[in-house]
Structure 1
């Protein structure tokens, strides 16, 4: 079993229920085929860097999961069958990426750094 992350972009003309249905479809495909999903995020509607299929925005979704490498071929087929998916990218994670993702999930990057207080306006 290896660790992967997948990001996919859905067409912008979908309703919230349709977006949830498509996301659930891929989630259920992964879990029913033995994948362990660690993180699932809906990043929302974002502007694209360049037009795709004559569209300038898309709904981004992200999964982080552990699965058998043979499962990826079937997942790629499922993405190809779904006409509302504009693009997708599956990336294998190394140990450093897994550590970074775990820290991001735990919110370590959302905390603001504290700046040292200056004492009476004097610099040391």
Structure 2
């Protein structure tokens, strides 16, 4: 089985139910093609770097799935292009490192710094700054 990920931006003008229904449509489309859905991530409303269709924000969704072959990807991309609710999309084939990274990220192993470690780093910075300030005052 090959691993894929499709990320798309939904028009934020739609209601919350319509946005979720749009994402669910593509999840069902993937299941009907024989794909196994690994994870669906609603990243939420976010500002975009540049306007798309005169919109400056969009609702981001990411669907990670396993497929027996990539033959249906063209059909899915065509459906995404034709859907007026979808502003942009990107489909990517994941290698073993991408699959491992996504699994670790969902497990919480990546992207979080423990509070204890962060406090010790902050206190070290404060100590270093304090020493420099004292040296400057003595030199006057």
TM-score surpassing 0.5? Answer: yes
Unaligned runs of 5+ in 2: 121-140
| Displacement after TM superposition at 1:12 (Å) | 1.2
Q: TM-score, normalised by structure 1?
A: 0.88
| Displacement after TM superposition at 1:16 (Å) | 0.7
Instruction: Find runs of 4+ consecutive structure 1 residues off by over 6 angstroms.
Output: none
The 1-side partners of 2:60 and 2:35 are apart by: 21
| Displacement after TM superposition at 1:117 (Å) | 9.2
Is the helix fraction higher in 1 or 2?
2
Q: Across the two proteins, how many residue pairs are aligned to each other?
A: 118
Query: 1:7 — aligned with what?
Result: 7
Query: 1:40 — aligned with what?
Result: 40
Query: 1:108 — aligned with what?
Result: 109
Alignment root-mean-square deviation, CA: 1.7
| Displacement after TM superposition at 1:32 (Å) | 1.0
Query: 1:96 — aligned with what?
Result: 97
Unaligned runs of 5+ in 1: 119-124
Residues 11-42 of structure 1 show CA distances to partners (whole Å, capped at 9, x for unaligned) of: 11010110011011000000111011101011
CA 1:91–1:116: 2 relative to 1, 3 Å? closer
Residues 66-98 of structure 1 show CA distances to partners (whole Å, capped at 9, x for unaligned) of: 112001011111101211100000011111111
Instruction: Find the residue that maps to 2:61 and give its secondary structure.
Output: strand
The 2-side partners of 1:77 and 1:110 are apart by: 34
The 2-side partners of 1:104 and 1:88 are apart by: 22
**Higher RCO (Cα < 8 Å, 6 or more apart):** 1
The 2-side partners of 1:60 and 1:29 are apart by: 18
| Displacement after TM superposition at 1:115 (Å) | 2.6
CA 1:76–1:112: 2 relative to 1, 3 Å? same
